[in-house]
Structure 1
Amino acid sequence: MKIRFFLIILFMFSFHAIRAQDGNELTIEQKQYINKFIYPLSTFEPSTDNNEDLKVLNKFIGNSDIVGLGESTHGSSEVYKMKYRISQYLIKDLNFNIFSLEANMPESYLMNNYISRNIDSPEDVLRGMYFWLWQTQETLAFVEWLKTHNENNNQKVLFDGFDMQYYFGALKQIRDVYYANNYPLDDINSLIKILKENKRGNKKYKNKIQKTVNLLLDKVSQKALEMEDKESKKRFLQNITIIRQNIKVGSSLTRDKFMAENVDWIKQNYNPSKVIISAHNFHVSKENRSSMGYHINEKYQNDYINFGFAFYEGNYTASVDGKIGTFTSQTAPIRSLESNLNSLDIPYFILDLKSIKKDNNELGKWLLKDIEFRKTGSGTKNDEFRKINIADSFDFLIFINKSSHSNLLENIKLKDT
């Protein structure tokens, strides 16, 4: 009987060891190795007064002046809070002076009326940015922090977007310039008519229509020659660029390329500038050749540092069939990055992928290969995990063990699912 019991124990131990070796779960040695590259975080709450745990960012970021902050879904409260906590630190301690997010550029820029001039309603500006993703208490709290910061510091922070999925805000701001200066409206009215009549969902405009629109925009752009205020002039011309981009966007490939161009425009037009870009993990990634982050990295190299985000379990806000709701996240499968990191029993931490990649130790090789990783956008999927090369995608990864849904502003309907 004792022999039989011993054999069962031996079998279970052997089975466990084989599973660990196959990559189903980490070995003790692998955990000990990975822990050398882990920097625990005390909290995700931006309101904390103690930022000792974030001082490691000084070393990680160094002299780089573009920092990409990702997100594994568009609706996790803890992820957004951590991003805003880090953003506050970058602004206060590392002199970052521009915060830009994955939202339409002209509409996002209006937030500066509130944070720098104390006019307009921040809730109305967030609601005017089309998507519910930023129409949350988490983002509103960060906006209020930016306003307070700008009131108490000589170096003001600029709020901006870098997306171009809609032309409405750009067109309205161009038209407002025409009204303010009593310019003839013939070209603007022709532009409005052709844009409205020829848009087909998210598909790009036909080449013939693009040519006509661009000719009209060429004529509109001549008005910039009469503008004396430099800020108004460059925004006027950039709004024209947003419309040119919008009529050409027909896929994520062109959209990400244009987003990268808009980040570059921000960088070049506000000098000196240190820019925080907030977007989905996919967009800030360096590895995917179609991503915004890839294009930024190609141009700026070591000046661009990015952080991917991951969480193990919980729920998040998402939109399905036009209805916004709370969804339970898919439990991270055993072979996934999230499952392995959760086994370390550290609730929040930064993982230094850059150093692991440089070290190239056998015990960390599982992080240098394709691995299952959560990828969910504004919607949700039955299978939330996709294989990516995490170390090629991100310099650093921030792990949070549990997610809860983001908290929408009033008048944004939430339907539990």
Structure 2
Amino acid sequence: MLHRASPLAAAIAKAAVPLTGGADDYTPLLDMVGEANYVLLGEATHGTHEFYEERARITQRLIVEKGFNAVAVEADWPDAYRVNRFVRDQGDDSDAVQSLQGFQRFPSWMWRNTAVVDFVTWLRSYNDGFEADDKVGFYGLDLYSLFTSMDEVLRYLEQVDPAGAAAAKARYACFDHYQDDSERYAYAAGVGVSESCEGAVIAQLQALQQRALEYMQRDTANAHDAYFYAQQNARLVINAEAYYRTMFRGRVSSWNLRDQHMADTLDALIGHVGAQTGTQAKVVVWEHNSHIGDARATEAGKLGEWNVGQLARERHGDQTRLIGFSTYDGTVTAASEWGGRAERKQVRAALPDSYEALFHDVGIERFMLDLRIDGLVRAALMEHRLQRAIGVLYVPKTERQSHYFHAQLPRQFDAMLHFDRTTAVVPLETVSKPTGGEAPETYPEGV
């Protein structure tokens, strides 16, 4: 018996823009972006090749055709800044693979994979034709690098202000007896076993800011960039300390603190890039759908969670575009437990009442759907449906409980890109190195 698509699936098929792999695939998406300055590109998993590859294709066109001048990703600030130095021809790394060596902790495959290598290589080549201030940068928005960022603050101060470095070391000594283990600090401070280091880390940022002008006026190359990097590390230490302290108080408080940090880092980056280039900052963001889809349209939002997408819309209005990604089935790179090896896992067919199953019913292998266009399709998609989210862990046995939530898609995203069958991202290695005390990336939510 021939399969007949539902009336809604048939209507979506008429409204959808097929993606064929051609050079003009994303022209309608760029038209939808228009004059917006901030484009947030999602992913339904942390381990799907097509999501990374297509985000790169879109980002390349945004850079070349619309003048976007920064890429900000769901990664720690120090690790991503090493890549930033490479793509801007400022670091010591000889190639893209080497520039990604900072991403060693679980799940290293999020950024140490072949698709990211290809994009970073392209970005370095593209930047070769521009002066230093006009090169496109690569930055991290996340906050898991508590001890690494403290080390980076100290390293900076040792170069510009040895006395200030000694004072900073004394302030950060509050963490010494946790042996560079952020999870130990999270437990001790979170449940009141010991006093928090909150006052010390705030004092350190204030000390750094008080001498900002002096530090930036020093006759050294990239003085403004170096100070900005150090200042953001000091801010990260404050927010990471608070994040770990609140981790044991419940998901909502820690989630909100993390996404608030990422949104604030994005805004700081917008200001820095604008000042550096003398033009409007135009930023592409790569994060999981859970972070860039407006939380107010999800059941998590009803529980009090907010996220980067919501905050970006509230702060920047129509200057923001939120683009979601989805898949029906295929394979994914994910682990079965925290700290586990990267596995190539089979993605189960989406549940019948989900958006993913509806898009599978459309019968188009890959397509874009503009969710801003009023009409029958947008109205019908307003019905709450299940949506799948796979992070760094994939647990098929508990698929419904672990990986699905309800959402209103047209309120959550401006457009959706659907790839019906997808393949696992290819890691540069299948086993992450020990965390070295830092908590794993995305801990404890997995996205």
Residues 215 and 182 (structure 1 numbering): CA distance in 2 closer, same or farther, change over 3 Å?
closer
- Once residues 257 and 182 of structure 1 are traced to their aligned partners in structure 2, the CA distance between those partners, rounded to angstroms, is 31
Task: Specify which of 355, 368, 376 is matched with residue 390 of structure 2.
Answer: 376
Distance 1:187 1:220, change over 3 A: farther
1:237 aligns with 2:231: yes
Give 1 or 2 for the bigger CA radius of gyration: 1
Tell me the SS of whatever aligns to 2:74: strand
Q: Is 1:111 aligned to residue 83 of structure 2? A: yes
Do residues 280 (structure 1) and 280 (structure 2) align?
A: no
Whether the aligned pair in 2 keeps the contact of 1:194 and 1:213 (CA below 8 Å) is: no
Name the SS of the counterpart of 1:333 in structure 2.
coil
For structure 1, which segment, 192-201 or 389-398, has the greater mean C-alpha deviation from structure 2 after superposition? 192-201
Structure 1 pair 150–315 and aligned structure 2 pair: CA distance change class (3 A): same
Would you say the 8 A contact 1:67–1:305 is kept in 2?
yes
CA distance in 1, matches of 2:155, 2:25: 47
- Please give the secondary structure, in 1, of the residue aligned with 2:425: coil
- 1:226-375 correspondence to structure 2 within 5 Å: 226-227=214-215, 228=217, 229-249=223-243, 250=246, 251-271=254-274, 272-288=280-296, 289=301, 290-321=306-337, 322-323=339-340, 324-355=342-373, 358-359=374-375, 361=376, 364-375=378-389
Structure 1 pair 399/211, CA: closer, same or farther in 2 (3 Å)? Answer: same
Q: Which of these residues, 115, 124, 142, is aligned with residue 163 of structure 1?
A: 142
How far 1:208 sits from its partner (Å)? Answer: 4.4
TM-aligned CA deviation for residue 220 of structure 1: 4.1
Could you say which residue in structure 2 is the equivalent of 1:211? Answer: 199
Q: Is the 8 A contact 1:187 1:219 kept in 2?
A: no
* SS at 1:248 equivalent: helix
Q: Does 1:142 align with 2:119?
A: yes
Task: Give the drift of 1:342.
Answer: 1.3
The structure 1 residue matched to 2:427, chosen from 405, 408, 414, is 408
Match of 1:172 in 2: 151
1:181-228 deviations in Å (ceiling 9; x for gaps):
351243232234212435444838467421233224433444434211
Task: Report the CA distance between 1:173 and its aligned residue.
Answer: 2.2
CA distance in 2, matches of 1:192, 1:352: 49
Does structure 2 conserve the Cα–Cα contact (< 8 Å) formed by 1:40 and 1:350? yes
Q: Are 1:193 and 2:196 matched, yes or no?
A: no
Q: SS where residue 343 of structure 1 aligns?
A: helix
Alignment RMSD = 2.4
Partner of 2:437: none
Which residue is equivalent to 2:20? 42
Q: What CA deviation, in whole Å up to 9, does each residue of 1:245-278 have, x standing for no partner?
A: 1111131111011111111111122112110000
2-side partners of 1:26 and 1:365: how far apart?
Answer: 18
Structure 2 CA distance, aligned partners of 1:413 and 1:159? 22
Structure 1 pair 326–91 and aligned structure 2 pair: CA distance change class (3 A):
same
CA contact (8 A) 1:224 1:236 kept: no
Would the alpha carbon gap of residues 59 and 169 (structure 1) be closer, same or farther in structure 2, given more than 3 Å must change? same
CA distance in 2, matches of 1:66, 1:402: 29
Percent identical among aligned pairs is: 23
Offset of 1:287 from its aligned partner? 3.4
**Change beyond 3 A, Cα 1:202–1:181:** closer
**SS across alignment from 2:47:** coil
Distance in 2 (CA, whole Å) between partners of 1:164 and 1:282 is 17
Alpha-carbon displacement from aligned partner over 1:113-153 (angstroms, at most 9, x marks no partner): 21121643333442313341111011011000001110134
The one-letter amino acid paired with 2:258 is R
The letter of the residue matching 2:422 is S
Tell me if the contact between 1:308 and 1:398 (Cα under 8 Å) persists in the aligned partners. yes
From the superposition, tell whether residues 53 and 167 of structure 1 become closer, same or farther in structure 2 (CA, over 3 Å).
same
Amino acid at match of 1:284: I
Query: Residue 128 of structure 1 corresponds to which residue in structure 2?
Result: 102
Change (3 A) 1:236 1:63: same
* Residues 118/214 of structure 1: CA separation in 2 closer, same or farther (3 Å cut): closer
Code of the residue aligned with 2:369 in structure 1: it is L
Deviation string 1:63-86 (CA, Å, 9 cap, x unpaired) is: 100000001110001111111111
- Secondary structure of 2:128 counterpart: helix
Deviates more, 1:386-395 or 1:169-178: 169-178
Q: TM-score, normalised by structure 1?
A: 0.85
Give the Cα separation in 1 of the matches to 2:84 and 2:201. 29
- The one-letter amino acid of 1:95's match is G
Conserved 8 A contact 2:208-2:231: no
Q: Distance in 2 between matches of 1:161 and 1:240?
A: 14
Q: TM-score, normalised by structure 2?
A: 0.79
Q: Which moved more, 1:232-241 or 1:386-395?
A: 232-241
Q: 5+ residue gaps in structure 1?
A: 1-11, 17-24, 44-49
